[in-house]
Structure 1
Amino acid sequence: MTDATRQQQAGVGSKPKERRRLVIGALLLLMITVGYIDRINVSAAGPLIKQDLGLSDAQLGILYSAFFWGYAALMVPGGWLLDRVGKHLVLPLAVLAWSLVAALSALAQNLTVLLGFRVVLGSTESPAYPSGNLVIREWAPLTERGLFTSLMQIGSLVGPALATAPAAWLASTLGWRWAFVFLSATGLIWLVAWVLLYRPPERARWLTERERAYILAERDHTTPAQQADAPVSQMSVPTLIRQRSMLGILAANGAQTYVVYFLLTWLPTYLVAAKHLQLPRSGLITSSMYGIAIVGAVLLGWLSDRFLSLRKEQALRGRRRFVIAVLMLAGLLPLVLTTWIDGLAMLVVTIAITLMAVTTSITLTFALTNDLIIDNTSSGRTFGLVSFGGQVIGLLAPIVTGFVVQASGYGPVFLVTGAVLLAGVLAMLLLPNRPLQPQAGQPSAVTG
């Protein structure tokens, strides 16, 4: 049966009551969750690893950063591999590979070997987000892409929320090596579910014909020529980098990622070293911060979709950047105040606010990028460049923090991170205010 026949027989005119397609959204959320569980195992057990391997604070910061070296380096090649081989093969193999590497990391007996495992782990996780975005394009109706993307992004909070406390407890009880092994098993469980449930919507037997027809009719199959109102010039990576809008997006996303990676890697160690908590309790406190942030991020994402209704002209002027800047400022103030907070309850609140605001700003930064793209044939390299730029700046956070702690203690680290975020706010406000692919014969600058 052809797609057209399905659509005709099922009656595509109305939205079906069935929402079984959200199973795919849930699987994407769990995929990112699993990836973050294997990212944070080192952070959750950081104090024990530092003691076991005899590391300085600077060396610990380098170890925390090593994952992101491989992650950033293979992000663009991973996208190329997806185009050549396909997500249906690359994604499950990537999850299998990073689960095995996470488990094998337990064999490391010195810093050099453990660094190598972390770099390889980052490399194997690099196809996760590109693959997920391709699955969203395949499964999500146009009006639900924001929902599917939000579900996937929330995995970056769910992973630390669910895993930090168990990881810290396992490391304290059985040792950090066994913690690595047990946590890595979550990827294998996800892999079984993915193999059993994932098919393209054309072949997913668990869909009703009505819902299948709706998905096939509402997802985007238009050509670039149909989407554009006038001829556009295709953008190469060097051309994109020379544009002020792209520079603003790169700087802002880098600052956002810097904050997220600083908290992801150093927060449990900070609670042990500066707040004198036992490792299991530091893990529990960290998990509670991420748990609160999940609720807030979902609410902020829903509110932004509900109250920010943009016309095409407003989108091309980058009007969404004002909402992003406000969210970044909302995360900046509590982050800076953390330097002077002593009580754990208030610390949980301030860090949770920063996490929910900055995480939501990252999601909206990708939406802003989508607003400013005119030529669909350049969208892949544009998003790849944004992701790569964010990782390059973000991976500096664990290293810089390690050297700051070693030189001056924990007092200045939140102020340094806040300064980075403030620079990102200024870049977001001042630069992304014109299309990334100007239409032929039309001025590239858009005022307002």
Structure 2
Amino acid sequence: MSLAVDPAARHPYRWVVLVLSWAAFTMTAVDRSTWGPASVSVGEDLGVSLAGLGVFATGYYVGYVLSNAAGGVLADWLGPRVVLAASLFLAGGFMVLFGESDSVVLGIAFQAAVGVFAGCDYSAGVKLIAQWFPARDRGFAMGLFMTATSLGTVIANAVVPSLIAASGWRASYHLFGAASMVVAVLCFLLLRPGGHAMAARRERPGLRPLARNRDLWLLGLAGFGGLWGTYGFITWSNALMVKGNGVSPVQAGVVVVIFGVAAIVAKPLVGVVSDLSGGRRKVPTAVVLGGFVVALLAFGTRKDLVGFLWVAPFLGVAAYVYSPLMVALIPRLAGVRLAGSAAGMTNAFWQLGSTIVPVVIGGVFQATGSFFWAFATLAAGPLLGMFLMLGVREPGTATATHAPEPVARGGEPQ
């Protein structure tokens, strides 16, 4: 059943769509972030070295990158509701199986499987939000949607260390895997696309316009640099604080919780500000990425818990608020009809940073033994992203030479 309404009319059901899309994305973010606080315990249980722990995270992100590219096309082809619900349910199932694994090979395989299915809900969520929210409101909607990634980090770091102390690392994977499956069922039962989307024929989307879109390529490469820093921090910060500075696992978890809470507050705010300022996203994104470089270098020079706690909120803001700005640009650069495919393809590039960085940072820290050089390596990513963002031609600005977002009936961008 669809709701045959004009999305430009701001139908109240759009909030149901936003909340369910956000809940699904939050659960995959929790699933992904569980590895950070659990990694040391998993390594001790399975006999894996510190550098070897990065292979587990890389296994996850290899699957995640592949499914982002495919999941966006599937969301445009089969519909975002089916893709979101099915992929989240399977990701939760493999989380439960990872909690049962007793070998390194099996564990890496299950992590990769979680990544394969967890990568689809982002592009499906972007597609649903683009269908239900007109362009003038998408900054706030995407900002709220993207709080899922930082909220997932907060939940994992608030719950997992204590859960490990009480019941072992396996319990956290069982708990969050089961919760993901429950949210998937709710999404399947309650989500509906807009009537204008249901009226269109289901056919495989043509991707040639995306492949020729220079600005989407630049956005994808800039996001690669940003996520190199963000998910490199999420993956390694706990272990580096524990092994490199003698901070306890629970204290390291508190630092990352503060990091995530700051991002949760900042993401919707930056979306609202960009909406009120005419929807400009390019320059604010470049400025945030520059601040991210500074914050990573500052964190790398801290030596104790107090220092980490002082820098954590600033780092949390800088490490996350560029993402809703980038995501809000995607429907404007590609149009709503191809928003799922464009979101999946750009996020596949973004997540390549997440795939490569765990192994690189593990190698750098093992080779140098330097906490600072590990964070300087992380800072190289957003520095690259800042310069690439300056080359993006934003629709509706003086530097944009291509047509603005296409408009269909009722004034709703398609």
Shorter-chain TM-score range: 0.7 to 0.9
CA distance in 2, matches of 1:336, 1:330: 10
Could you tell me how far 1:130 is from its partner in structure 2?
1.5
Residue 252 (structure 1) aligned to one of 218, 222, 227 = 222
1:234 touches 1:377 (CA, 8 Å); kept in 2? no
Secondary structure of 2:51's aligned partner: helix
Deviation sequence 1:101-133 (CA, Å, 0-9, x none)? 000102222221111001110111121012112
Name 1:273's counterpart in structure 2.
243
- In structure 2, the CA distance between the partners of 1:378 and 1:437, relative to structure 1 (3 Å rule), is farther
The yes-or-no answer on 1:392 pairing with 2:345 is: no
**38-47 or 275-284: bigger deviation:** 275-284
Could you tell me how far 1:178 is from its partner in structure 2?
1.9
Paired amino acid for 2:302: I
CA distance in 2, matches of 1:59, 1:82: 35
Secondary structure of 2:321's aligned partner: helix
Residue 302 (structure 1) aligned to one of 232, 250, 272 = 272
CA distance in 1, matches of 2:37, 2:286: 31
Deviation sequence 1:303-329 (CA, Å, 0-9, x none)? 2322x226xxxxxxxx64222111111
- In structure 2, the CA distance between the partners of 1:436 and 1:27, relative to structure 1 (3 Å rule), is farther
Residue 170 (structure 2) aligned to one of 170, 174, 177 = 177
CA distance in 2, matches of 1:326, 1:93: 37
**Structure 2: which 5+ runs fail to align?**
201-205, 405-414
The yes-or-no answer on 1:70 pairing with 2:59 is: no
Secondary structure of 1:290's aligned partner: helix
1:36 touches 1:156 (CA, 8 Å); kept in 2? yes
Could you tell me how far 1:196 is from its partner in structure 2?
4.7
Could you tell me how far 1:435 is from its partner in structure 2?
4.8
Paired amino acid for 2:278: S
1:169 touches 1:283 (CA, 8 Å); kept in 2? no
Could you tell me how far 1:28 is from its partner in structure 2?
1.8
Percent identity over the alignment?
22
Question: What does 1:146-165 align with in structure 2 at a 5 Å threshold?
Answer: 146-165=139-158
**115-124 or 330-339: bigger deviation:** 330-339
2:63 touches 2:112 (CA, 8 Å); kept in 1? yes
- In structure 2, the CA distance between the partners of 1:421 and 1:283, relative to structure 1 (3 Å rule), is same
Name 2:412's counterpart in structure 1.
none
Could you tell me how far 1:142 is from its partner in structure 2?
4.1
Could you tell me how far 1:280 is from its partner in structure 2?
2.9
- In structure 2, the CA distance between the partners of 1:101 and 1:335, relative to structure 1 (3 Å rule), is same
Secondary structure of 1:250's aligned partner: helix
Could you tell me how far 1:349 is from its partner in structure 2?
3.7
- In structure 2, the CA distance between the partners of 1:77 and 1:170, relative to structure 1 (3 Å rule), is same
Secondary structure of 1:395's aligned partner: helix
- In structure 2, the CA distance between the partners of 1:83 and 1:13, relative to structure 1 (3 Å rule), is closer
CA distance in 2, matches of 1:3, 1:118: 37
Name 1:344's counterpart in structure 2.
305
The yes-or-no answer on 1:353 pairing with 2:314 is: yes
CA distance in 1, matches of 2:193, 2:67: 26
- In structure 2, the CA distance between the partners of 1:164 and 1:254, relative to structure 1 (3 Å rule), is same
Paired amino acid for 1:334: A
Structure of larger gyration radius? 1
Paired amino acid for 1:340: T
Deviation sequence 1:78-100 (CA, Å, 0-9, x none)? 23333443223222111111111
Secondary structure of 2:99's aligned partner: helix
Residue 367 (structure 1) aligned to one of 312, 325, 328 = 328
Question: What does 1:55-204 align with in structure 2 at a 5 Å threshold?
Answer: 55-200=48-193
CA distance in 2, matches of 1:234, 1:196: 30
Secondary structure of 2:21's aligned partner: helix
Secondary structure of 1:263's aligned partner: helix
Number of corresponding residues: 394
Could you tell me how far 1:357 is from its partner in structure 2?
2.2
CA RMSD of aligned residues (A): 3.2
1:96 touches 1:187 (CA, 8 Å); kept in 2? yes
2:224 touches 2:351 (CA, 8 Å); kept in 1? yes
The TM-score with structure 1 as length reference comes to: 0.79
Deviation sequence 1:339-391 (CA, Å, 0-9, x none)? 21134244234233223223221221233444444x76665544333111111
Secondary structure of 1:411's aligned partner: helix
- In structure 2, the CA distance between the partners of 1:14 and 1:192, relative to structure 1 (3 Å rule), is closer
Paired amino acid for 2:231: Y
Name 1:210's counterpart in structure 2.
none
- In structure 2, the CA distance between the partners of 1:139 and 1:250, relative to structure 1 (3 Å rule), is closer
Secondary structure of 2:225's aligned partner: helix
Question: What does 1:401-412 align with in structure 2 at a 5 Å threshold?
Answer: 401-409=361-369, 410-412=371-373
